[in-house]
A and B are shown apart, each in its own frame.
Chain A
Amino acid sequence: MSTRLPKMPGEWIDRSTPVDFEFEAERFQGFVGDTISSALCAAGVSALGRSFKYHRLRGVLSVANHDVNALFQDGGRPNLRGDVVPLRKGMCLAAVNTFGGVKYDRARILDWLSALFPVGFYYKAFHSPKSLFPFWERVFRRLTGLGELDFSVQRLRTPKRYDFCDVLVIGAGPSGLSAALACADAGAKVCIVDENARIGGSLTYQRGGEDRASALLHDLDERVNRHPNISVRPGTLAAGYYADHWLPLIEDKRMTKMRARAVIVASGAFEQPAVFHNNDLPGAMLASAAQRLIYRYAVKPMQSAVVLTANDDGYEAALDLRINDVRVDAVVDLRGNASSSAAAKLAQAGVRIYSGHGIHELRSKNGRVGAAVVCPLLANGELDVARPEIIGCDGVLMSVGYAPAAALLYQAGAKMRFDETIQQFVPDTLPSGIFAAGRVNGIYALEDRLLDGVRAGLEAASHAGFGAAAATPVARATGSPNHPYPVFDHPKAKNFVDFDEDLQLKDFVNAVQEGFDNIELLKRYTTVGMGPSQGKHSNMNAIRILAKLLHKSPGEVGSTTARPFFHPVPMSHLAGRGFHPYRLTPLHSRHESAGAVFMQAGVWLRPEYYAASGKSKVEAVREEASAVRNRVGIIDVGTLGKMEISGPDAAAFLERFYTGRFGNMKAGMTRYALMLDEAGVIIDDGVVARLGEERFYFTTTTTGSANVYREMTRLNTLWKMRVGIINATGGYAAVNLAGPRSRDVLAAVTRLDLSAEAFPYLAVREGEVAEMPARMMRVGFVGELGYEIHLPADGAGFLGHTDPSRPRPRHPAIRCRGAATAAAGKGAHHHRAGHRRPDDADRGRNGLGGENGQTLFHRPAQPENRRRQETQGATGRLRAGFR
């Protein structure tokens, strides 16, 4: 049975484009512009899903992105929110939380057994006998969890982009739109976002049976879209607030990281349900939900309605129902003496108005609302159940108040206070550059919201540097749209506070009795607000209930912490591209052609060993080691940090930076250098070569190079010594040539005198290698004759020049070098890859020396380095004292 209404002015559906889809093996048709829920409702389906815990039938509640009992699975896509996800052609939908479909869900029996599952039952039961726990665990694992993941789905890639604006306005309702216009008129570049498919906010659905709102919307829409300073972005969710006005804007297939100078939060308010028996039956919904169905999707939400209200908006919703062919049987007003023009109109039309009454319970018929039981309110706020009046209807509207959609304000650090007059949390102090306007600011009348928007717009523009804020604050109304306690007890309970988690009033009473009487504890024990809607329709009532139980005000009870994201954001929007950059040495292509197997060493790719056909890794490594021992090998050490330091204070600087003495070094010599932190722990090492009186070249560990260079620049910011420091790591290739025949290999490519007299151990020489300028150091790390050769990165092909008649150097790789250095009984620190610090053997060892060769014994020239070494000695003594 179709409940689609005749064409509605401003409707969001496109009737010329039908959309076919399937829901639980039945075929349906909706229109482009429909959501899943609106299309199903239009087809007369009122039960859209089953609740999480008791598997009760549920239908539309809010149509505002917290109908979490109407979650659908579409192939590999789980948990589509029916109230906001656009209908697409060919969707094959099923409700997520059922065993066998919505109608005949086998788990519906849990509703009858609900007495066995009181709040927190899983904290108390299943502990004994212990052996049964895995059984229960499996049972509950099967019962809980929503939707099914399809692990074979393709990876979704969503683009990310950066954007900037002067003022970001969140929420394109009347407050946000007028704020954007005021801002833009002052000269600011404004971006206005709204999570809904179209702008307009409450103007699109809260009409009160008149055309005024749609006329106003038409005017605002035209002005913002024409304004050169305004970028209008519907279908865009401001998902969170991060420091310095940095917000992720989520669209269907894109995330924009927006940086603004100022932010106006005009996010409105969430309408809140009343709590009474069976308030969750399909057909019972928030008044705004019914209005959204009517005006956005042209769906008739029910045939005949009872409207429960505690504000004038309820009467206006009743008028909206009436002019759209819904019979309004009664308006039940929790207030005693309300009067408004809408109320007068309804009374005139013969609608029965029950002032000072409430709904005791709803009765069901054919799986949805069948009747409302209305009772008068007593002076103590409870219902006089002795005088019930049963009113037949197939739908109930709840219009008892709102809670501010203030999540972004909380995240930005706003302090909120509870305003007793309007019974709402309102901003008390806002952080710099954050402004609130409209309902989230506690302003409800339409004219006032427009003015409040202008006020916030001017303030934000002024903050961003455009004009002076001269607007006067808008006073909050003296009447409250929010009922202080729309909660009613019932002997059979099933009066739901949280529709995500099936929490009833008694669950809160129990939790408080058990001592969980703080809002944060209450939340965690009952799980209120922890479901997919994150408390959007339950937190405020939970606060009111706790406040009443503790005889406090909601302000004293306070609210729980709001964290990003405001609505769920798909993982695909957050996931990056798996971008893992790594560095290649200038010799990389040579390693490749030599059959190298590479390993990651910090940010570098280095050869682990060279695979030769028919040989295992171990064999290959052994052969390389033996080549170094008996003939010659060559290893790429281009990953080492390579620094140059020059200037009159260069030697003094190094003496302060490393532990050793460098002032007494002769030019043309090298010296091992050790770097300690203040506690005397070795943090880096290398070889320092003195090229001239004021010129040094030195190496650092592979992974330490960036940090060592940074630390040098920092210290010289402090010391202000006369030196220049260059990080030349990428500028040079470096190889270590080692083995008894290394001299023969090198002699073939350089004219330099390599004799032991002319080029002794620990000397450094500058000359040409393969016709490239090169620095050669006679240092050994494997106990064999060896040379470390540094040459410009683009000249690293010198190996090609080796004379074929000479012995060919083998490439020992990392594994081999580890073996060779161990055999030589020496540390391999500054060649070993993958460590930020020197070798495992040395890491964390103190700088007093002993195991690692003579170099450690250098007496530091500088007192602070002496102190560093002594610090280790001092702690040694300390430890001895504890024995």
Chain B
Amino acid sequence: MKLLRCPINGLRPVSEFQYAGEIRPMPDPGSCSDADWTDYVFNRNGAPGIKKEWWLHLASGIWFVAERNTATDEVQRTYLHGEDPA
């Protein structure tokens, strides 16, 4: 079982976490074109690489960001949303 580092609770087994998909910035719904909106809603980029993902530490309810290499399943770093390390 993998270990994942919650920015608040530290290294914990992955069974304590829930994955909630890639973080994808939403286009401005008030002004974007239908094509842009459709692309945002229906298309996903499955190409392997380092992705920013939403993860939740279930036991404590902490949402955070994990930068994970989806080719090797290695988590590069985790941090709270909006507190991106430089």
Contacts and interface: CB of A to CB of B under 8 A. Distances in A.
A874 interface: yes
Contacts of A714: 20, 54, 56, 63
A679 interface: yes
Contacts, number: 42
A866 B82 CA distance: 27
Interface stretch (A238-246, A351-359, A386-394): A238-246
B38 interface: yes
Interface in A705-722: 710, 713-714, 717-718, 720
B46 interface: no
B61 interface: yes
B73 interface: yes
Nearest to A866: B29
A243 B38 contact: no
Contact of B29 (A246, A710, A863): A863
A866 B56 CA distance: 28
A720 B38 CA distance: 26
Given A243-B73, A714-B56, A867 B20 contact: no
Contacts of B42: 679
A428 interface: no
Given A710-B56, A718-B81, A874 B63 contact: no
Interface string A218-251: 0000000000000000000000001110100000
A871 B81 contact: no
A678 interface: yes
Contact of B2 (A244, A678, A863, A871): A244
A244 B3 contact: yes
A24 interface: no
Contacts of B56: 710, 713-714
Contacts of A718: 81
Given A243-B73, A863-B29, A871 B18 contact: no
A871 to B, nearest CB: 6
B10 interface: no
A679 B73 contact: no
B4 to A, nearest CB: 9
Contact of B1 (A244, A717, A871, A874): A244
A342 B18 CA distance: 62
Contact of B38 (A244, A257, A864, A871): A871
A713 B61 contact: yes
Nearest to B40: A678
Given A244-B2, A720-B82, A863 B37 contact: no
B34 interface: yes
Contact of A243 (B1, B26, B34): B1
Contacts of B28: 863
A866 B29 CA distance: 8
Nearest to B2: A243
Contacts of A713: 56, 61, 63
A203 to B, nearest CB: 34
Determine chain A's interface SS by DSSP, over half rule: helix
B86 interface: no
B26 A864 contact: yes
Interface in A103-119: none
Given A717-B63, A871-B41, A710 B81 contact: no
B37 A871 contact: yes
Contact of A874 (B3, B20, B34, B81): B34
Nearest to A243: B2
Nearest to B28: A863
B30 interface: yes
A871 B39 CA distance: 11
Given A714-B20, A874-B34, A864 B29 contact: yes
B81 A717 contact: yes
B18 A710 contact: yes
A242 B1 CA distance: 6
A414 B40 CA distance: 39
Most buried by A among B26, B29, B73, B81: B29
Contacts of B41: 678-679, 871
Interface string B10-39: 000000001010000010111000100110
A246 B1 contact: yes
B82 A867 contact: no
A863 B30 contact: yes
Nearest to B38: A874
Nearest to A862: B29
Nearest to A162: B13
A211 B3 CA distance: 47
A249 to B, nearest CB: 14
Interface in B42-73: 42, 54, 56, 61, 63, 73
Given A244-B3, A713-B63, A867 B37 contact: yes
Contacts of A679: 41-42
Contacts of B61: 713
A867 B30 CA distance: 8
Nearest to B73: A243
A867 B73 contact: no
A408 to B, nearest CB: 16
Contacts of A242: 1
Nearest to A865: B29
A866 B34 CA distance: 12
Interface string A74-104: 0000000000000000000000000000000
Contacts of B81: 717-718
Nearest to B4: A244
B81 to A, nearest CB: 5
Nearest to B42: A679
A257 B3 CA distance: 14
A874 B32 CA distance: 14
B56 to A, nearest CB: 6
A717 B30 CA distance: 22
A259 to B, nearest CB: 8
Contacts of B18: 710
Contacts of A864: 26, 29
A663 B61 CA distance: 28
Contacts of B30: 863
Nearest to A246: B1
Nearest to A717: B63
Contacts of A863: 28-30
Nearest to B58: A710
Nearest to A718: B81
Contacts of A243: 1-3, 73
Nearest to B11: A244
Contacts of B40: 678
Contacts of B82: 720
A867 B26 CA distance: 12
Contacts of B54: 714
A713 B62 CA distance: 9
Interface in A517-562: none
A714 B20 CA distance: 9
B60 to A, nearest CB: 11
Contacts of A867: 29, 37
Nearest to A877: B34
A846 B40 CA distance: 18
A863 B30 CA distance: 5
Contacts of A710: 18, 20, 56
Nearest to B64: A717
Contacts of A717: 63, 81
Contacts of A871: 37-38, 41
A864 B38 CA distance: 13
Contacts of B26: 864
Closest 9 CB pairs of A and B: A863-B30, A867-B29, A864-B29, A243-B2, A717-B63, A863-B29, A244-B3, A678-B41, A246-B1
15 contacts: A243-B3, A244-B2, A244-B3, A246-B2, A257-B1, A678-B40, A678-B41, A679-B41, A679-B42, A717-B81, A718-B81, A863-B30, A864-B29, A871-B38, A871-B41
Given A710-B18, A714-B20, A871-B38, 10 more contacts: A242-B1, A244-B1, A244-B2, A710-B56, A713-B56, A713-B61, A717-B81, A718-B81, A874-B34, A874-B38
